[in-house]
Amino acid sequence: MAELLRVRVQPGAARDEVVGWRDEALRVRVAAPPHDGRANLAVTRLLAAALGVAPSTVELVRGAAARDKLFRIRSLDAGAVRLRLGAPAGPGPAGPVNVSTRRRR
């Protein structure tokens, strides 16, 4: 089982966070800059943390150099992904999902 997930990324943000859904794409912000694949790695780790899966099960399929990306989640089906990320049942935007990879001191 594997699920494809559309993600819209904002690199260079103040912190890593899942913002919520807009249409069919999950919006995320990452602090990493979009250089040398650092933002892609940060998004992979953020998605893994938000979904409660190992980072090795989250794979970037398309959009390595773009803001709009497609990720494959190998360990979850579509229903589980949408449930864990707080996707709305019907059309329309959802509220923010409070997931952050920021370390607390």
What pLDDT is stored for residue 96 in this prediction? 45
* 10 HSE (CA, 13 A, CB side): 13
What pLDDT is stored for residue 95 in this prediction? 46
What pLDDT is stored for residue 27 in this prediction? 97
User: Helices (DSSP H) in the chain: which residue ranges?
Assistant: 38-51, 78-84
Q: Is the pTM of this model over 0.85?
A: no
Would you call 58 exposed, middle or buried from its count of C-beta atoms within 10 A (0-12, 13-18, 19+)? buried
What pLDDT is stored for residue 94 in this prediction? 43
The residues spanned by each domain of the chain are: 3-84
Architecture of domain 3-84: 2-Layer Sandwich (3.30)
pLDDT digits (tens, 9 = 90+) for 21-65: 998 899 999 999 999 999 999 999 999 999 999 999 999 999 999
